[in-house]
């Protein structure tokens, strides 16, 4: 399905019936990452998957896509579908967008799951690395995509999931250069939203990979300390929807239906 948002086409899918579950993909991904999870969830729930700005079949809106702008897109889709309350599951960047949405619409969430994601903002060091990444992307975005996606997996899983990695790389190559840079710029300047983990009425869960090369496991533990956030750890990397697929489905089902 397509929604016109400020002159830009927003692509999303809507399947199943029941309580609404919104799935938000990460950087260099699209709705296609949910191809196994969404059909299972839609047996009991209404599942909405959205291509975020500059990703999948959704167009670009500018040279910076802030998390707030992406959250506005999500808001517009849910308004078109007349969905008021839903459970959000956001992978990596999708988690940042879900948090931006939650900040403006806390009463519209029944639950929020941060999947290999964080509520903290980029450190100064991370912001410098984002700028380096932008330079690398502009030099050769195909080389960047190939290396970046492979490195998201735990080293011992790279051979095990080589077909899935190849597929993710081929999909990511469809992401326009502008979409990649705009997302990197948006993630670089995102707000710290750790307070939302402590002072919001909806239920929350964080799923972390012990060997996640992107997010520091101990820092994530610290983030949820003294909060009501259910913390779930997997033994692998940043791509839990592939590396820990069966267990992830079980955890998410339980979280939605609890």
Using alpha carbons only, give the angle 51, 57, 62 rounded to the nearest 5 degrees: 80
Which residue's entry shows tokens 């997997």? Answer: 234
Distance (Å, whole) CA 201 – CA 73:
23
Could you read off the pLDDT of 121-176 as tens digits, one per residue?
999 999 999 999 999 999 999 999 999 999 999 999 999 999 999 999 999 999 99
Is 2-257 assigned to CATH 3.40.50.1820? yes
Mean pLDDT on 72-87: 98
Using alpha carbons only, give the angle 10, 93, 126 rounded to the nearest 5 degrees: 135
CA-based torsion, 127, 25, 88, 5: positive or negative:
positive
Could you read off the pLDDT of 147-161 as tens digits, one per residue?
999 999 999 999 999
Could you read off the pLDDT of 180-223 as tens digits, one per residue?
999 999 999 999 999 999 999 999 999 999 999 999 999 999 99
Could you read off the pLDDT of 16-37 as tens digits, one per residue?
999 999 999 999 999 999 999 9
Give the pLDDT score at 166. Answer: 98
Number of Cα atoms under 13 Å in the Cβ half of residue 100 = 23
- Is the pTM higher than 0.75? The answer reads yes
């Amino acid at each position: 399905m397509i929604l016109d948002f400020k002159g830009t086409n927003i692509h999303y899918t809507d399947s199943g019936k029941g309580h609404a579950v919104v799935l938000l993909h990460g950087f260099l991904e699209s709705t296609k990452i949910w191809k196994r999870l969404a059909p299972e969830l839609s047996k009991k729930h209404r599942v909405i998957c959205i291509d975020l700005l500059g990703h999948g079949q959704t167009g670009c809106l500018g040279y910076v896509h802030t998390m707030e702008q992406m959250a506005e897109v999500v808001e517009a889709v849910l308004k078109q579908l007349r969905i008021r309350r839903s459970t959000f599951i956001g992978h990596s960047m999708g988690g940042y967008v879900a948090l931006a949405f939650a900040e403006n619409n806390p009463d519209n969430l029944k639950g929020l799951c941060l999947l290999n994601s964080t509520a903290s903002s980029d450190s100064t060091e991370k912001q410098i690395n984002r700028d380096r990444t932008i330079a690398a992307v502009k030099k050769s975005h195909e080389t960047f995509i190939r290396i970046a996606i492979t490195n998201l997996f735990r080293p011992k899983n790279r051979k095990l999931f080589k077909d899935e990695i190849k597929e993710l790389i081929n999909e990511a190559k469809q992401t326009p250069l502008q979409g990649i840079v705009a997302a990197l710029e948006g993630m670089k300047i995102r707000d710290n939203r750790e307070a939302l983990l402590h002072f919001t009425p909806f239920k929350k869960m964080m799923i972390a990979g012990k060997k996640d090369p992107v997010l520091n496991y101990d820092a994530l533990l610290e983030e949820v300390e003294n909060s009501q956030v259910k913390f779930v750890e997997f033994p692998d990397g940043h791509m839990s929807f592939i590396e820990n697929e069966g267990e992830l489905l079980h955890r998410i089902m339980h979280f939605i239906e609890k």
